[in-house]
Amino acid sequence: MGVVAKGNWSPLLSGPKAGTWRAWAAGCALGWALCATAVQASPIPFGERQVDMTVREQPIAAFLQDFFGTMDVPVSVSSGVKGAVNGVFRGTAEKVFSSIQRSFGLMAYYDGAVVHVYTPAEVTTRTFAMRQGDARQVINTARDMNIMDSRNTLRVSQSGGLIASGNRRFVDLVGELASGQQSQSTTLAPVGFKVYYLKYAWAQDVSAQYGGTVTVIPGVASILRSLLTAQRGNPSPALTQYRGASEPGLRGQGLARQGTLGAAGANPMQASAETVQQAWGGRPGAVGGVQVATVDAALLEGLGAASVANQARVEADTRLNAVIVRDLPERLPYYDELIKSLDIEPQALEIEATIIDLSTDKLREMGINWRLSGDRYSFLFGNGTASDTSLLGSTPVQSITPAGEGGFMSLVLGGRNNFVARINALQNKGVARIVSSPQVMTLSNVEALFDTNKSFYVRVAGREQVDLYKVSAGTSLRVTPHVFQEGSDVRIKLLVQIEDGGINGASQVDSIPIVERSSINTQALIGAGESLLIGGMVKESSSEGVSKVPFLGDIPLAGALFRSNNDQQERVERLFLISPRLIPARRATNASAPTGPLRPGGAVAAPPMPVLEETTTSTRNPATGDPRPGVAQGLGEQAP
């Protein structure tokens, strides 16, 4: 083996695979002749070197090591390269290596330092997740480094990312460039800002406390945070915490515990709101009226990959009711349509709840059997006897109230005006009594609460302190309406929760009065203009009294002539008539008004201000043009 200055080369293949290699080489000779002698990005430094090598049954990997060793060029031969070399090789190093490539079907890649020899089966494809801008920068860097060629290529996918196709060494080089580009992009990535001034939705979480229940309505900032954060099967936190049917214990549940709630101070409402806020992933507390929420950009799906150092931020400014978004400029447009869909004008409703007490005993005594009917409703209260026929018109009594089954109540939804008018007529006779008729305005999907309670405190003695436990009872009505349109009809879905009770001072346990509670939870679907009537809460009371003449009524036997016993029993059924009424809304010209993308340090546009219409008018004297006495001029108006 040696290097000479002249001579011809003639490779010889021997061994069991010699015939196979010759046939394969002859079939591929034409195809390889159309290709470059070596497939590499940078040319292998053959120069004008001449080789003169004689080998016999030498493995191809060892032959390549000796071949490139004569030129002081490092070589890495893949383990997939198999075969043996026999013959005498004379000529230029470039022609000798081209002959070996054609004979064994090899591919070579020179990365500027080492020649990598591999088989066509080892060509691979790999995708790197990155932003399109970073992917183009990696391609430019690879082109400048001259590591690309026709068999080792790079391209940017339409959905974002870099696709590398080629040999293993080329793909590894691209991976190193991609990692370095992402690190540099994370540190020097441009940041954009956008401010969304909301009109109808709240930017921050809004909480309200009703008795022992805390209800939290998540703001737009919390919704964005929950959408952008990966939720790996975790359910959404409960926004309403209701009081259970049984109390777990008395110790530590009263005023003594309310003074030791930590950072929230003595106000239990602040502590409850913080707890729910933490459940939504936010930071407890606020600084300068701004509620801060951070979202790791690496968790954003469909927007590319980023490291922990590159974070998107969503802040709720309670002073302006605005949402401030900081993110990469190419991601900011994704927020526009989402926030616009969240900040829509809700349907306003006025809900009137009429609470009615009916004395069923007096109805039976008076023989009152009455009904109300209309096109879409019918209401009957009676005993199902034939005496109801006069009230039913052409409808057979058996179709509504089978005889002999006692008192009942049947209901089909309808308007409230005629029903309340009939209740007023019965009220004059002492049969019915309207307890209360509160009215409240609310929004679609926002709970309305009617609450009338009486409370007293039970003293619970401890070892070192005395605690007070609050006990409440009364009438609580919660109505959550949902307005939607089905075809040409507007319908209202009602979620109703009723709790009715009272404090029974006559019955006591350990000198503590018994609290009676009854509850109804139901849902109903009604049309616009209809009402929902709920009944079934019956309260029975009995009383025993004795009237007598003093001293004479206490005489045994003869005292019965001077006293009388008065035993009374009363059965009262409570009805709840819920009447929602739609309020026409003034539609705004557009929804939330975002600012344009802002650069750090740039000015922030002011929120859109409503146009104020001046109600006062200015009249002038036709002769002098001066304002007439007693008439105010409009704001900013000047006399000519």
Query: Alpha carbon 457 to chain centroid distance?
Result: 40
Report, as an integer, the average pLDDT of 174-179.
88
- Beta strand segments in 242-347, E: 290-296, 311-317, 322-327
| Cα(67)–Cα(44) distance, integer angstroms | 13
What pLDDT is recorded for position 186?
A: 60
**Contact yes or no for 351/439 (Cβ under 8 A):** yes
What percent of the chain is modeled with pLDDT above 90?
A: 7
pLDDT tens profile 81-94? 888 888 888 888 88
* Residue appearing with tokens 């030791």: 260
Residue-wise pLDDT for 205-262, tens only, equals 988 766 566 778 889 999 998 887 754 434 444 445 444 433 444 444 444 444 443 3
CA distance 477 to 456: 21
Which overall architecture, per CATH, does domain 10-121 show? 3-Layer(bab) Sandwich (3.55)
pLDDT at 514 over 70: yes
The first and second tokens of residue 545, run together, are 């009294």
Q: Is the pLDDT of residue 132 over 60?
A: yes
Residue with tokens 């089909």: 412
Least trusted range by pLDDT, from 174-183, 472-481, 588-597: 588-597
Token digits for 188? 């020097």
Q: What is the per-residue pLDDT for 321?
A: 94
Domain ranges of the chain: 10-121, 123-188, 192-345, 350-539+567-583
Nearest to 274 by CA among 284, 289, 287, 288: 284
pLDDT tens digit string along 318-370?
A: 999 999 998 888 888 889 989 999 898 888 999 998 888 887 665 544 443 44
Element (H, E) at 352: strand 348-359
From CA 97, how far away is CA 103, in angstroms rounded? 10
Adjacent-strand bridge partners of 526: 492
Least-confidence region, from 299-303, 517-521, 606-610: 299-303
Q: How confident is the model at residue 531 (pLDDT cuts 50, 70, 90)?
A: confident
Backbone angles phi, psi at 56, to 5 degrees: -145, 115
The amino acid at 142:
A
| Residue 483 binned pLDDT confidence (cut-offs 50, 70, 90) | very high
Angle between helices 168-188 and 132-144 (to 10 degrees): 130
The CA-based angle 504-506-510, given to 5 degrees, is: 90
Highest mean pLDDT among 491-495, 598-602, 621-625: 491-495
Task: Judge whether 547 and 561 are in contact, CB under 8 Å.
Answer: no
Name the residue with tokens 């120069």.
47
Contacts with 474 (C-beta within 8 Å, 6 or more apart), sequence order: 451, 452, 453, 454, 500, 501, 502
pLDDT band at 203 (very low <50, low <70, confident <90, very high): very high
pLDDT of 271: 37
- pLDDT, tens digit, 9 for 90 and up, residues 95-107: 888 888 888 888 8
- DSSP code at position 531: B
Q: What pLDDT, on a 0 to 100 scale, did the predictor assign at position 494?
A: 92
Strand residue runs (E) in 397-447: 410-412, 432-436, 439-443
What is the chain's Cα-based Rg?
A: 44
Residue 306's pLDDT is what? 40
pTM across the whole model:
0.48
Q: Evaluate if residue 14 carries a pLDDT over 60.
A: no
* Segment among 425-439, 605-619, 620-634 with least mean pLDDT: 620-634
Architecture category of domain 123-188 in CATH: 2-Layer Sandwich (3.30)
Identify any residues that bridge with 573 across adjacent strands, giving them in sequence order: 358, 538
- What interhelical angle do 220-228 and 333-342 show, nearest 10? 130
- The pLDDT mean for the chain works out to 68
582 three-class SS: strand
Averaged pLDDT, 503-522: 80
